[in-house]
Structure formats: C-alpha cells, structure tokens
Amino acid sequence: MANLNEFLAFSPEVAAARQAGLPLVALESTVISHGMPWPDNLATAQTLEAAVRDQGAVPATIAVIDGKVRIGLSPGELERLARGEEPVQKLSRRDLAIRLCLGGLGATTVAATMVAARAAGIQVFATGGIGGVHRGAQQSFDISADLSELARTPVAVVCAGAKSILDLPLTLEVLETLGVPVLGYATARFPAFYSRDSGLPVDARVDSPSAIAHVCRTHWGLGLQSGVLVTHPVPAELALDPAVAEAAIAQALGEALDQGIRGKDTTPFLLARVKALTGGESLKTNVALIQNNARLAAQVAVALAASAGR
C-alpha cells in the first residue's frame, strides 16, 4: 500500500538542509494560488522564502505537482502556481490522495500543508490566516478542516490570527475543545488578521521565539499530538481600519449568500471580494503580515533546532 513518504519529493535546497539538520520552515501554496492576485502573489512567495533565509532557516513551500508532494519548489514551479494559467486545485486533507492520483497542480491549504510538513519532519509552518468556524456555521456546518488538522498534527503554525469573515469567538471555542494551545506573540489578545486585536484572549502571551519553542517542545514532549497555534499581530502601521475591514466583510458575506457560494469555494470567494472592496490597502497589509510571520516562524525553527536533544 502507498505511504505518504513515497510521494514526497524534496527540492535540492530542502534535501541538503535535511541532511545538514538545518532548521526548516514550511510555507503553504493556497495563499499563492487562491489568496492573492498575480503578480503580487509570486513576488510575495519569493519574499517569504527570502525572509526565512534571512533568519538562518530554510524555506519549504509545499504543493502537489504532477503526482508528487513537492517539499520546496523551484522558481519555475512557484511561477506555475502563481500564474494560474493551468487550473490549480485547492487541496485540504481530503483532497491529497485524489490530486496525487489524478495529477496536475494542487495548492495546499493550512491543513494539507501541515500533513505534508509533518511527513517531511518540518515542525514550523508560517501562513497568513487560518481557516476556522464560519459565521452562520450553526446552519451551514462550515468549519474549516484547518481546525481538525490542528487537533491532530504536531506542527507549530504561525499566523496573524484569522479574518473576521469567520466567527472568531466560535473559532477559539473549537480550538479549546480540540486541545490546541493558542499563543500570542507579544500580545495577550487574539489578532484578527487585518487588525491587531479581536478583543478575545489567547491562552498565553509569549515574548520570544525561544519561549514559543519551549512551549512547543513541552506540549509535544507530553505526548499531546496536536498543533500549536502561534498568533502574531500585523505591524501597527500596516493594520487596516477595523470599520473598513468589517464593512467589506459584511458586504462579501451578503454576496456569498446571494450567489449560493458553498464548500471549499467560500473562503477564496470571501478573500477575493474583501480584497476588491478594500482596494490595494488590504493587499499591502496581507503581504506585510505574512512576511512578518515567516520571519517569526524561522526564528522559532532556529530556537527549536538549538534546543533539540536538550
């Protein structure tokens, strides 16, 4: 029977880093293919990788390409995903086997990237925002598979919280139920992606990458096989006015309902509409916060590597 490791294909840079035991940081690809417009998406993907390297770690952008789970992409592969000239499927956990069998291009969400990162032995992953419990989930049952993945896969996910296209209080309730620690980096409040403060508390404030690494090592050392969510607020000078973000989100949610958008199309639809309705400012915010997260994730990966074996 097939096993995931047989499907992994490492880039030369990632293979060398694994050999040398260097710290690695996983990066997702759905944010490139479905989260940002061309050509900003390619530029962002490249600067994320550079931000990780700057901090002394090695980036591993993850995607499914032509029947392989690629751990680390060549510049040409990154461009193929970003250009979107060929269809690019959005892959969560349930889509991995299908795409590996059928071929073509698949961009991994937070959930699928965690699956692949764990198989590749990568403990730290940087993204922008995670999926969560959608507003109206009481009726729609729309709860992102990112949450159940966080419950079962021991990878630290560095994000800027979650966009308030989601129901943030319910998202935090579900993370509590699933046993996922939620840390705030230099903050006691859960960030709301475009803004620094959702008004909701995190489980603990931590003030250094080594403190984050310490909690992760201890959590996993206790045998608690879940992810750890590390939240990192957007830099203050780049945050969006919460009223502007909320107005765009309310309109986007209304349009999604009117147009009968459902399932895996919901999040990309809402992201695209919010972006269009807030104009270029939200894209600037988005790019800045992901870069910020990549930098912190690299610092955590370095701290984890330094403490390995202790």
Residues annotated as part of the active site: 28, 163
Among the listed residues 25, 65, 73, 110, the single contact to ligand PSU using CB under 6 A: 110
Where does this chain touch ligand PSU (CB under 6 A) — which range of 30-38, 51-59, 202-210, 240-248? 30-38
Is 106 a binding residue for ligand PSU by CB under 6 A? The answer is no
Sequential DSSP letters for 210-245: HHHHHHHHHHHHTT--S-EEEE-PPPGGGPPPHHHH
Q: Which is nearer to ligand PSU, 130 or 305 (CB)?
A: 130
User: Are the beta carbons of 301 and 216 closer than 8 angstroms?
Assistant: no
Nearer to ligand PSU, 52 or 305 (CB): 52
119 scored as a contact of ligand PSU (CB under 6 A): no
Pick the closer one to ligand PSU by CB: 17 or 115.
115
Asked whether position 233 contacts ligand PSU by CB under 6 A, the answer is no
What is the spatial distance between Cα 204 and Cα 253, in angstroms, rounded to a whole number? 31
Instruction: Out of 13, 28, 77, 167, name the contact with ligand PSU by CB under 6 A.
Output: 28
Beta carbon of residue 111, minimum distance to ligand PSU (angstroms, whole number) = 6
Binding to ligand PSU by residue 196, rule CB under 6 A?
A: no
Distance CA 105, CA 269 (A): 20
Q: Where does residue 170 rank: exposed (0-12), middle (13-18), buried (19+ CB within 10 A)?
A: middle
Residue 39 or 56: the one with the smaller Cβ distance to ligand PSU is: 39
Q: Does 146 bind Mn ion (CB under 5 A)?
A: no
Backbone angles phi, psi at 102, to 5 degrees: -90, -15
* Tokens 């032509």 belong to residue: 66
Residue in this structure with the two tokens 């291009």, named with its chain if needed: 105
Query: Chain-centre distance of CA 226, in angstroms?
Result: 16
The dihedral built from the CA positions of residue 248, 251, 253 and 256, taken in this order, carries a sign that is negative
Q: Among ligand PSU, Mn ion, none, what does residue 193 contact (CB within 5–8 Å per kind)?
A: ligand PSU
Provide, rounded to whole angstroms, the least separation between the CB of residue 85 and ligand PSU.
20
Binding site for ligand PSU (CB under 6 A): 28, 30-31, 35, 92, 109-110, 128-129, 131, 144-146, 163, 193, 264, 267, 271
